[in-house]
Every structure is written in C-alpha cells, then in structure tokens.
Structure 1
Amino acid sequence: MRIGIDARFLGPQGIGLGRYTQELVQNLEKIDKKNEYVVFLRQENFDLYRPKNKNFKKVLADVRWYTLKEQLVLPGVFSRENLDLLHVPHFNIPIFYRGKKVVTIHDIIKHKHGGRAATTRAYPIYLLKQLVYRFVISNAAKTASAIITPSKFVKDKVAKTFGVSPKKIYVTYEAGTLTAKERTSVEKKVERVLGKYNISKPYLLYVGNVYHYKNVSRLLDAIKILNEEKGKNVQLVLVGARDVFRQRLEREIVEKGVLKYVVLTGYVTDADLVDLYKEAEAYVQPSLSEGFGLTSVEAMSLGTPVVEADASCLPEVAGDAALYFDPYSPRDIVEKLAKVLGNKKLRESLSKKGLKRAKDFSWERMARETIKVYEKAAKNA
C-alpha cells in the first residue's frame, strides 16, 4: 500500500500537532517495513526530516495550513503521488481531494468553547473563520474512510457532532515525550534551573497555553485562597511561550492581586521542563476540555502527583492515578490542592500510581494501532 502523510505540521513549529506528526512518522519508520510512505513537508521542516527507512520518501508541499491555497493547490500535490491512502493528522483535509483518506481529529474544542473570549481578532473575522472551520472539519469527518481520535471521549463527541458512525472512528492513545533521562542528577544544577525562573519551593506546576477553556483564571482564584486563607505559602508556576492570550493573563494576574504568588516562565527547554515537573509538589490541570491531556501523562511519567479537572477525557486517561476536582469551583480546586500539599503519603501514592499508569501509553503502540486503521480504511469502499 502506498500511503501519504501530510506532515506539514511536523516539528516544533507545529507545537502539539508537530509532536504528534513527528512521533507518528518516526515510529512508523521503525516498525513498518511493508508499506510505502510519502511524507509531505513544507520548506520550513523539509530538512528536519531525513528518512531512515527505504520505503519512506519526502515530497515538498510548501503550502501553509488554513489557507485558500491549501484547499486549491494541495489536492494536486497529493494526487500526483498516486496514493492508495492519505493520512491527514489534523482536520484540515482539502475539500477537493477525492482520494481515500484517514483523518485524525484531536478534539472539537472550537465547537464548544467559542465566542469573544476565544479570539483576539475582530469578531466578524473570527465568525467567518469559525464558519470555514466548521465546514472543513465536518467535510473531513464525513468523507474520511476512517477517523482517528486520541480518546474515547473525543470519539463520542465526533460521532454525535458530525453524525458519523462510531464504527469508522478508532481510538489511538498518544503518549508523553519527556523522559527522566533528560533530567540532570546534579542537585546544584536543579537549583540553578529553579533560580533561572525565580521559582521557590514549594510550587504547583501548570504547562500549556492559556486559552480561555484552559480555565487558568479559576486556578488563579484558587492560588490566592491557598495562600491568603489556607496559609500554604505556595507558588503557581505557569510554563508556556508568551502570546496575546498570555498577555491577557498577565493583566488578570495583576487585577486579581496574585502577582506575588505566580511565576510566568515563558518558553522552557525540555531539559529544564523535566526538572520543573520533578521538583513540583503537584501538576495541576484545570482545563474544561482536552482531547488527550498530554501534559498530565508527562507529569505521571516523571512521578509528579497529578491533580486535575473531572472533565472531558482527563479521567479516562489518568484513571485512578490522579485526584480530581470540580473545575468550575475554585473552592473545590483549593480543597483538593490543599489535600495533596498537606499529605506526603497521598503525594507518594499518586506518584506511584502515575508512574504505573503512564506505562500504558507509548508512541510505538500508537503507530501500530494506526497501521491497523490504515488497513481497515483501505478495505472500506
């Protein structure tokens, strides 16, 4: 079978999608010696990917995502390769591509968590983009021979939202990418990492963007109560690159009077991030909606206790290896965080359970399951 992979997101410029695409391609190379693969890349990541398997080749598809050119030019680029199957690891399948295809839909958060708080653009432009998004993702779901989702939660949402049969939707769980090997064992080096970001122990950690559905605003309320009413003297460390949404959050931090309790690190390297996970009292995930919950899995894999929202896919992925709170209630967030901060045995228990749970997820397993999806999709009419 000749399989195409739209890998224009591959690499760090694609953020989460880039990581998923890179892990997919790398692991398919390791395990699949039977099928042929054509990997489509942009100029920015063309040199980043160097095939090691003779059945893999790369093709330049220098078309930016979410553009008119993507819809009009890309179908021809794909068609010229005479593919038996095309895998697009995001919802943005060109509507004019008529070949057999598999699509990965990581979440449908934009359907539920839209509105003015979800954008920094002029509202009419945002509404137009929403209409286009809804049309493109609906077309992808309905025309794909198979759909891949990272959790049963997303599978159910996709089936109900787009009216497609659950029988053509397959769950392939993803995995964390950080390992303890990247962490230094030198205590002074760890102290330098904490000092580099002005972090004092004890601290709670959150990693990710700060879009409105991530619910970081209620986490700010909780950290204020923890310090001013519960006397916990704990920092909240927020890791993530600075963007317009983070600038909004910076203003909110000042308005809520929690500046002295919060550290905004900006972007951090993977090596530093491992140290930040390992030294945290707990990892906190307050999000109202996730497709998989990658950062929680990373925290578990490094032995960091996880305290997170009882929402979306998070309980499905973490199971009994996390302590859950009502994400709409700052008081309940405080109660669960205080419980973990004040109980060393509970932290140790969550750490052990998390390490065990994290072993259930691997990128190689995800790639093997994806090959099975390809085989089933190829047989579908």
Structure 2
Amino acid sequence: MSARPDVALDVRQTSHTSAGMLAYVRALRTFLPELAPDLRFAQFGGGDNFDVAEQVGMPLVLARLRPRLVHFPTPYVPRFVPAPHVVTVHDVIDLEFPQYAKPKVQPYWRHVVGPVLRSARAVITDDDATVELLQRYLRVDPARVRVIPLGVDTPGYPIAPERRARPYFLYAGNHRPHKDLGTLVSAWASLPDGIQVDLVMTGEDEPALRALAAGARGELVFTGDCNGQRLDELFRGALAYVQPSLREGFGLPLLEALGAGTPVIAAETAAPSVLKPFVHRYPARDAAALRALLLRACEEAAASGPTESPAAMRADAERARAATAHLTWERTVRATADVYRELLSA
C-alpha cells in the first residue's frame, strides 16, 4: 500500500478558473515537490465546478486517498470535505458586486464556500484587503487567514518590446463588469487633440467599448487571446499598463508589468497592498483622474522622444522592478509549504 500523502492538491482547471488562478495552480503543482521534498504530495482532479463530480465524486476520491491535509487552491470546493483542509481565496468579487454575478454564484458562495472556509484549518489569500472582506462577507476568522502574495518568474526567452506605429497603453485581462473598462476607454478617448496614442486590450472585440471610443485620436485594438511571449512583448513596449478594476484579488498583470519595467496606472481598488507604493493610483471610476494620469504619461513620453516611454514614470517603474523582484512563484510556493507544515504539526 502506498504511503498516506501529507498533502492532496486539487489541480482542476475548471470553467470558472481565471488566468491568475491557473498560473497559481500551475506554480503549486510544478514547484511543490521540488521545494518541499520533506512532504508527500498527491494530486487529484477531474470534474468541473458546480457539478456532481465536485460535490459527490471528489469527497469519495479524498476518502480513498486519506490525506493528512487537502489544499483547494481555488474556492470551488465540495460542501463536505472528509479531511482537514486549507483553501485559497483570491477575492470575493462575486459577493462585493452581486449585480455582476450569475444567479447561481451567490448561493454557492453562501452555502458551499462559506461553511468550508469556516471549517478550514487555514485560508490563504493574496492580499491584506481580502482578509477583512472574508470576515465581512463569509464570517471567516482573520486569525486563520494567511496572506501570501502571488509571484512572477523571468521568462526563459528574450523579450523585445512590441513595436507599433503609435505608442500605446495596455490592458490585459477579462472584460467582466467589475473591471470597469468603460472608464478606461472613456478616459483614453477624451485625450486632447494632437495626442495619438492607441489603447491595446487583450480579449475579443467589445462593441460597447468600441462605441465609447468614438472620436478617439488613437486606435482601440483588441488582440484576441493573448498570452506567453506575445503578452510579455506587449507589456515591455507599452507606455503604461492600466488596471481600472473596482476590485482585484492580487492583480497579477500589475506585477507582470512592473517586472517588465513598465509604468503601472491603476484604480486605488485594483492594486494590492504590496504593490501600492509602486503604482500611480487614482480613485476608482474617476475618469477625469485617470485621464490626467494618461495625459501625464503621454506628455512625458513626448518630452523623451516619439518612441520613448514616459521618463519619470519609467524611472519609477525601474525602481519598482527592483523592489518587487522578490515576488516570485518560488517565494509563493515556499510560503504555502510553510502553511502546510504549520498545520500538519499542530
């Protein structure tokens, strides 16, 4: 009979798993065996969230594995977990903004996720702000929450900045309503005559956003699906990366942009506490304040040269890159393994 695992890790990639969650799960499954050789790991998966396999099949799998601890790295969990468990929750956006959530999501958070979090040995989250939100919306004891920031790793290939006919601002992410992309497009489209700067957004064309861009001096560009080297090149070549969200769990693209030495402009609500000192922030939903920061970036770039990035903002970004260089996936995984050891020794 094989040895009982110390930790069983849920490695599902479900339909509700965001790009940031996928990166987190990949980092755990890739690095944990190497960085925590003192622990025995088992991986399990199969089935989507909200389905029978999650709520019935997964507890049966765990009952057979008999792990000393289970880690769910997303909040998509079975209501009954037959083992001590730890859960990672990146955000509670569906509870903060119920007007944007699908009808079945609210009951799932209240009646499935909430009880599982309250019975967990520990809850892991990415940012200090989420600790208070977990207590407010799901009655999770802050004493059991561990804050572990996410990370990025240096690409294993050379990155050349994206070269376009005009300079551009970049947004990378999904187009859900809480991302507040309308404020970004409106602020960019209102830049004064004589400033021709494009706005590049990952994802598919959005007619509603394109309508807001009417009259803009630059071009609104949708890249379609974009990741890997192409996205790294877009980060490296942008005048600035812009994150207008009303809330982020961690906002991994902010760290990716800073890692590329690119200035970051973000809503106050979009920047995690560990990155706030390095981000040019504005009040959420304030298109005029965002426009002022976009204009500053354009004016600095014009003073530096037609193809250069904003000088002062770029200098800030270079300092930020050095200051955040320790935020790697290795650090995230090591800290997570420390939580396992803490719980296993209790």
Q: TM-score, normalised by structure 2?
A: 0.89
Partner residue, 2:171: 206
Distance 1:212 1:14, change over 3 A: closer
Secondary structure at 1:284 match in 2: strand
Distance 1:238 1:203, change over 3 A: same
Tell me whether 1:29 sits opposite 2:13 in the alignment.
Answer: no
Tell me whether 1:307 sits opposite 2:265 in the alignment.
Answer: yes
Distance 1:114 1:357, change over 3 A: farther
Tell me whether 1:161 sits opposite 2:126 in the alignment.
Answer: no
Partner residue, 1:182: 157
Deviation at 1:372, TM superposition (A): 1.6
Q: What is the rounded CA distance, in whole Å, between the counterparts of 1:339 and 1:333 in structure 2?
A: 10
Deviation at 1:351, TM superposition (A): 2.1
Partner residue, 2:336: 370
State which of 267, 275, 300 in structure 1 corresponds to 2:233: 275
Partner residue, 1:316: 273
Tell me whether 1:138 sits opposite 2:114 in the alignment.
Answer: yes
Query: Residue 283 of structure 1 contacts residue 306 of structure 1 at CA under 8 Å; is this kept in 2?
Result: yes
Distance 1:326 1:14, change over 3 A: closer
Superposition map of 1:13-52 within 5 A: 15-41=19-45
Letter in 2 for 1:24: L
Query: Residue 306 of structure 1 contacts residue 350 of structure 1 at CA under 8 Å; is this kept in 2?
Result: no
Tell me whether 1:86 sits opposite 2:70 in the alignment.
Answer: yes
Letter in 2 for 1:128: K
State which of 264, 281, 296 in structure 2 corresponds to 1:339: 296
Tell me whether 1:298 sits opposite 2:261 in the alignment.
Answer: no
Q: What is the rounded CA distance, in whole Å, between the counterparts of 1:230 and 1:141 in structure 2?
A: 52
Letter in 2 for 1:290: E
The percentage of aligned residue pairs carrying the same residue is 25
Q: How many aligned residue pairs are there? A: 332
State which of 194, 198, 201 in structure 2 corresponds to 1:238: 201
Runs of 4 or more, structure 1, over 6 Å off, are none
Partner residue, 2:304: none
Query: Residue 27 of structure 2 contacts residue 329 of structure 2 at CA under 8 Å; is this kept in 1?
Result: yes
Secondary structure at 1:327 match in 2: coil
Letter in 2 for 1:288: L
For structure 1, list consecutive stretches of 5 or more residues without a partner in the other structure. 42-61, 120-125
What CA deviation, in whole Å up to 9, does each residue of 1:173-222 have, x standing for no partner? 1112453x53445xxxx6xx65xxxx432100110001111010001111
Distance 1:276 1:178, change over 3 A: farther
After TM superposition, the structure 1 stretch with the greater mean CA deviation from structure 2, 166-175 or 316-325, is 316-325
Query: Residue 220 of structure 1 contacts residue 258 of structure 1 at CA under 8 Å; is this kept in 2?
Result: no
Q: What is the rounded CA distance, in whole Å, between the counterparts of 2:68 and 2:79 in structure 1?
A: 18
Partner residue, 1:265: 223
Q: What is the rounded CA distance, in whole Å, between the counterparts of 1:230 and 1:309 in structure 2?
A: 25
Query: Residue 185 of structure 2 contacts residue 212 of structure 2 at CA under 8 Å; is this kept in 1?
Result: no
For structure 2, list consecutive stretches of 5 or more residues without a partner in the other structure. 301-309
RMSD: 2.3
What CA deviation, in whole Å up to 9, does each residue of 1:133-170 have, x standing for no partner? 32222112111110000111112211232222211100
Query: Residue 66 of structure 2 contacts residue 83 of structure 2 at CA under 8 Å; is this kept in 1?
Result: no
Distance 1:135 1:27, change over 3 A: same
Q: What is the rounded CA distance, in whole Å, between the counterparts of 1:128 and 1:28 in structure 2?
A: 34
Deviation at 1:346, TM superposition (A): 1.3
- Compare the two structures and name the one with the higher helix fraction: 1
Query: Residue 188 of structure 2 contacts residue 294 of structure 2 at CA under 8 Å; is this kept in 1?
Result: no
Distance 1:269 1:18, change over 3 A: closer
Letter in 2 for 1:213: H
Q: What is the rounded CA distance, in whole Å, between the counterparts of 1:178 and 1:253 in structure 2?
A: 34
